[in-house]
Chain A
């Protein structure tokens, strides 16, 4: 923790006289159990039923009943296979390589199956796979009961025979009529599907294939086409960069398909003596901005002028200088970029072709080696113009048949209702869909397609890279793949599997086993045609986006993405890394603007957050009662709203949260400036956990250092270890010990190292932990009461220079003035993420207070929790300084009050059979995935060999794509973690209280200079 910084998690802490934060800090369980309220009122006590006498009767009866019932054990069945599949051994997991691609996220994955059920998604490391929170959660969507279980005709369930007998004839009719037949799909990037569609066209007639991405990168692909001749996305290897300048590009999030975080962090390893510098100019506080070394809040119109200024500086041109105000800090950014030369890179997230052109031109001028224009990415192919043309054609009645696959335009189009109306003029509408979503509901034929874990397929994510999708479970429902259906309709006898295999060149078995194949890239000797770009016009066009009082930036939330998986409770409950709110989307607004508009966020006594709602009108479209979340770091005059929420069809009632921001997505541009806001008109209840489980404002929780200091100053200055006086000598806090120590020098001793520099806060680990450890989903109401069950949370800290904070405190005495101070501090705070799970203390405070010894220390370093022993006193949670223990307030399985996956037979199939499902009234917490470490040990014992470094792992470690988490055995002196524990950056959380944790953090290094 830098000495000149003040750390805070909520603006509430910055207010002067509020006891609220202190209260929250001091109590693990904020809500009192209302015993006094009940027992203190004698009259009420006597008048309420049941009376004390009744109570005793009930007590006696239930005790007797329970005793009698427990005498006879239930008769259990053991049902073996009739014919056991060769590859399945009950009790052992199988892994299959496959690929996740839903038109939005792409990942090479390994699917862990148990007894034929996929239960976990891991990244396929051989294929350089990386998983984000959504890919991790995708396995739960397989068991979604809201999936289409049969094909439907006009909303009625039908059979495939009916479909096959009706549809081809109708298609032929449409072709005869001469009207257009349109196939509208999301990006599928599948060579075999492309071939099947071609065959279909050959057989029936011209089919217009339009690709539509809900969150468009059409601007970027078009710009790339203009400069490089192919409609694709360039690839970026941020590990090669010295200076990264991003204008509104959330490249650690979902920008251009995501997946850049690994390379980004490879270029930011302070121990290698080199760290790239990352400068982010943005309006919303994004994940990328939170990780940036320097972040400049700029509203979209200012981003555009900055973009042009940087372009002018780099290229020496002077476009539109009359309209650009020369700003010193922007000039500095440009200078840094210029200085970095070909090791600089410039990216922008503004979904405007001209902005993308400028970015590419800057990289070209720099000669950047970070951008790769040869190996292009295919995972976004949407064509916005074609989609708009389709809508016009549909309205004019020119479209005879519309076939949709993997797309939901009725929800994602800015005017979805227009699409639904225009559908009436289409003679034949066929939707291939997994859910009865907004689009499928409006279509005549709805053909149920399987989940990717039940499907075959191939994806070509980038040139030269071929990935295979293989089924890992028999189809759960009466579904048929899109490709199979098309093959059938074209009269092809073979199924898609055979087709895929026949069209595959290379070693099929090996590629299927690996999940991917590397193809040789043909060298394109002929340079494609490139258009001349007049940057004067580009600049002019860009500047048409005029500065307004409020400008909106639409973004995709870390959890929900484009909204396909809205019915996934893991994702709904995943707190946003920045706002720490779950189960919602909201308008983010800067504290200054909020004050001017008299909009408040109020933290209730129990830590729950309430916020004002307002009506927002963008381009004449109004969304009513949108909650406002006051976001520190939001650029003044800018607003943010997440896409992917506000789904209305094909999902559980409880998942229908938030507002549909796609209604504002005019021209497929994420920045909009025609915004009108109303006065606050109501209150909204957030499920925000930012003040829950905080570490009570103790200092030295998060340690930070600048790269310069890290290199040139002794670690004593920036990673100070507390000392205590023992025998008149200074002894490090960790050595001063009141307790008897364990002999843990033999056998394994597990340590987990968490590098705060490398952690981007992406929360893939949180979902991985959910999946691995059968963690229940508790729902919005319970999250508000700080009863979320996440074993692993990612704390987000804001920090600001102490001078301004102190000034504010000193200056502002009254509440109003204090607010003023809050704004100044909260204008542009720095952000740091800190994953916190059970620290597995060697001298654990929880162990000593448990009256029944349910939690105890393991020789291997794990603090163990025996659920069956726990009686639920919650003493341990109250005594845990890290606030990582979670209490089961209810039975979260088989309980209609918590109607999530653990309450239905399909959802329960995702449970990990090696981890027990906890019951009501017991405490639970991170076990350092003891089921995984034990399995590794057993495997080695069976094979009679020692364990190599890297074999031990946990769910969170596997899910981390930036290797921020490293796990291993410190008694193995050659292990990576053993050296990390000794690193000069290593520190223990709250080391001065002498808990001697087995989780170690690495000081965050920022390259601020």
Chain B
């Protein structure tokens, strides 16, 4: 047993030594050139103009070490202007890329450049990725066809059944000459039907949960949630104007000029290729040619399907609520940063509007506007609500 134990021990020891040595080779290599560090540097310094496998403003850098010597690269990075004049190859590149001078990076050391070169050699695949994001299973999101998410009555059939039962009962009673009971049941029946009919009619035109398919599978979760882009970066007129504004394609291009590949969470039945194609739709709209890294055509606007829609006879002003009242977008629009495809969160009924106007206190202290003719009111009414200020008057929203 002991021997066996020893053998095990030896083998274990051997295994440990070898493994350690094996890992040491890695770390030694890493000390020389670390592709992970290189990636970090690449992302912060180079991505504005370079990608690994495609032309951007500058040439693709995948396996650049195979084409250029380390010294060449270092010179180009540290002092490109000089290098372009000195080196014929560099000059050729300069001509090829529309004579756009490269930004000098004198702060990058030789080691940094080596790390970057290492990264360009191994690429993203060569770097140990912590964990591949497990596809999130969103219930019901599997079906890309339009889903009407209005609260659906799965057991709607009982309603006509109830009506039929009532009719049958009344008929039966009438036949039995039970007139009083028949009339009694008839009245109850009519009221019941009227009650449900009224409830049904009330929700007509209330589109809570409306979640139309958009021409581009744009995920608010990926943009606003995962990447933390501020709502007002895209919906910039919300604080100035009555409309929050659908961002024009040029706003998309601020980022997507450089982000042409989908690297976010893959959800639903979609795959990465699908999302890449969706990004390509943005380029089509902008008239952007990825290979030439230039706007080549006029482009055409994206025809989004409108989710939130108030009737024409309602005047609603975003800036009033976002800018003056300081409301969060989510107060009315719900957790948009968690929605892949946006849906209508609030009912947008008048009842909903005015119940908020009834409850919300107006912050008069921080706004100089209330210094004027409102001073008396301010003193008299600490905590005046929107309703107290006339926020329930018809003419404030209907004109």
Chain A residues with CB under 8 Å of chain B are: 67, 70-71, 73, 75-84, 89-92, 745-748, 854, 856, 858-860, 862, 864-869, 914-917, 927, 930-931, 934, 937-938, 940-947, 969, 971-972
Say whether, besides A91-B237, A747-B374, A864-B394, A76 and B311 are in contact (CB < 8 Å): no
> Among residues 190 to 242 in chain B, which have CB atoms less than 8 Å away from a CB atom of chain A?
201, 204-205, 207, 210, 212, 237, 240-242
Say whether, besides A90-B243, A866-B395, A79 and B287 are in contact (CB < 8 Å): no
> Among residues 363 to 399 in chain B, which have CB atoms less than 8 Å away from a CB atom of chain A?
366-369, 371-374, 376-377, 380, 389-390, 393-396, 398-399
Q: Does B304 contact A (CB under 8 A)?
A: yes
Distance in Å: Cβ of A806 to nearest Cβ of chain B:
47
Once the chains are docked, how many angstroms separate the CA of A745 from the CA of B366? 22
Least CB separation from A78: chain B residue: B306
Once the chains are docked, how many angstroms separate the CA of A75 from the CA of B148? 13
Distance in Å: Cβ of B6 to nearest Cβ of chain A:
76
Once the chains are docked, how many angstroms separate the CA of A868 from the CA of B350? 12
Say whether, besides A746-B373, A945-B369, A972-B372, A931 and B323 are in contact (CB < 8 Å): no
Is A82 a contact of B205 with CB atoms below 8 Å? no
Residue with the highest number of chain B CB atoms closer than 10 Å, among A67, A78, A92, A915: A78
Say whether, besides A82-B249, A84-B250, A931-B315, A916 and B306 are in contact (CB < 8 Å): no
Chain B residues with CB under 8 Å of chain A are: 201, 204-205, 207, 210, 212, 237, 240-243, 245-251, 285-287, 298-306, 309, 311-315, 317-320, 323-324, 366-369, 371-374, 376-377, 380, 389-390, 393-396, 398-399
Residues of chain B contacted by A746 (CB below 8 angstroms): 373-374, 376-377, 380
Listed A/B pairs (20) with beta-carbon separation below 8 Å = A73-B205, A78-B303, A78-B306, A79-B246, A79-B302, A81-B249, A82-B301, A84-B248, A84-B250, A89-B240, A747-B389, A856-B394, A865-B394, A866-B398, A867-B398, A868-B313, A916-B399, A938-B319, A938-B324, A943-B369
Say whether, besides A82-B285, A856-B395, A917-B312, A77 and B304 are in contact (CB < 8 Å): yes
Is A915 a contact of B309 with CB atoms below 8 Å? no
> B287, B305, B390, B395: which contacts A77 (Cβ < 8 A)?
B305
Residues of chain A contacted by B303 (CB below 8 angstroms): 77-79
Residues of chain B contacted by A944 (CB below 8 angstroms): 366-369
Is A82 a contact of B324 with CB atoms below 8 Å? no
Least CB separation from A115: chain B residue: B243
> B201, B240, B301: which contacts A79 (Cβ < 8 A)?
B301
Residues of chain A contacted by B393 (CB below 8 angstroms): 856, 858-859, 864
Is B312 a contact of A916 with CB atoms below 8 Å? yes
A-B contacts besides A73-B207, A78-B303, 11 pairs, CB < 8 Å? A67-B201, A77-B306, A78-B304, A78-B305, A81-B250, A748-B373, A916-B313, A931-B399, A944-B368, A945-B369, A969-B373
Once the chains are docked, how many angstroms separate the CA of A930 from the CA of B251? 34
Say whether, besides A76-B309, A914-B315, A947 and B395 are in contact (CB < 8 Å): no
Is B369 a contact of A78 with CB atoms below 8 Å? no
Residues of chain A contacted by B311 (CB below 8 angstroms): 868
Question: Closest 5 interchain pairs by CB?
Answer: A864-B395, A91-B241, A946-B372, A746-B377, A866-B394
Residues of chain B contacted by A946 (CB below 8 angstroms): 368-369, 371-372
Once the chains are docked, how many angstroms separate the CA of A770 from the CA of B240? 27
Residues of chain B contacted by A80 (CB below 8 angstroms): 245-249, 301-302, 304
Residues of chain A contacted by B315 (CB below 8 angstroms): 914, 931, 934
Residues of chain A contacted by B302 (CB below 8 angstroms): 79-80
Distance in Å: Cβ of B200 to nearest Cβ of chain A:
9
Least CB separation from A862: chain B residue: B395
Is A927 a contact of B287 with CB atoms below 8 Å? no
Residues of chain A contacted by B366 (CB below 8 angstroms): 944
Residues of chain B contacted by A938 (CB below 8 angstroms): 317, 319-320, 324
Distance in Å: Cβ of A624 to nearest Cβ of chain B:
48
Distance in Å: Cβ of A902 to nearest Cβ of chain B:
14
Distance in Å: Cβ of B76 to nearest Cβ of chain A:
34
Residues of chain A contacted by B372 (CB below 8 angstroms): 946-947, 972
Least CB separation from A971: chain B residue: B373
Least CB separation from B214: chain A residue: A78
Least CB separation from A748: chain B residue: B373
Distance in Å: Cβ of A610 to nearest Cβ of chain B:
39
Residues of chain A contacted by B247 (CB below 8 angstroms): 80
Once the chains are docked, how many angstroms separate the CA of A938 from the CA of B248? 26
Is B237 a contact of A90 with CB atoms below 8 Å? yes
Least CB separation from A864: chain B residue: B395
Residues of chain A contacted by B286 (CB below 8 angstroms): 82
> B212, B240, B313, B367: which contacts A75 (Cβ < 8 A)?
B212
Once the chains are docked, how many angstroms separate the CA of A864 from the CA of B373? 21
> A70, A83, A868, A916: which contacts B204 (Cβ < 8 A)?
A70
Once the chains are docked, how many angstroms separate the CA of A76 from the CA of B307? 8
Distance in Å: Cβ of A613 to nearest Cβ of chain B:
44
Say whether, besides A80-B247, A82-B250, A927 and B395 are in contact (CB < 8 Å): yes
Residues of chain B contacted by A947 (CB below 8 angstroms): 369, 372
Distance in Å: Cβ of A870 to nearest Cβ of chain B:
10
Once the chains are docked, how many angstroms separate the CA of A854 from the CA of B367? 33
Residues of chain B contacted by A937 (CB below 8 angstroms): 369
Residues of chain B contacted by A862 (CB below 8 angstroms): 395
Residues of chain A contacted by B240 (CB below 8 angstroms): 89, 91-92
Once the chains are docked, how many angstroms separate the CA of A71 from the CA of B148? 12
Once the chains are docked, how many angstroms separate the CA of A80 from the CA of B396? 28
Residues of chain A contacted by B245 (CB below 8 angstroms): 80, 89-91
Least CB separation from B210: chain A residue: A73
Once the chains are docked, how many angstroms separate the CA of A944 from the CA of B285? 39
Residues of chain B contacted by A84 (CB below 8 angstroms): 248, 250-251
Least CB separation from B323: chain A residue: A942
Residue with the highest number of chain A CB atoms closer than 10 Å, among B371, B372, B396: B372
Say whether, besides A82-B248, A862-B395, A941-B324, A91 and B242 are in contact (CB < 8 Å): yes
Distance in Å: Cβ of A202 to nearest Cβ of chain B:
40
Say whether, besides A89-B241, A91-B241, A76 and B313 are in contact (CB < 8 Å): no
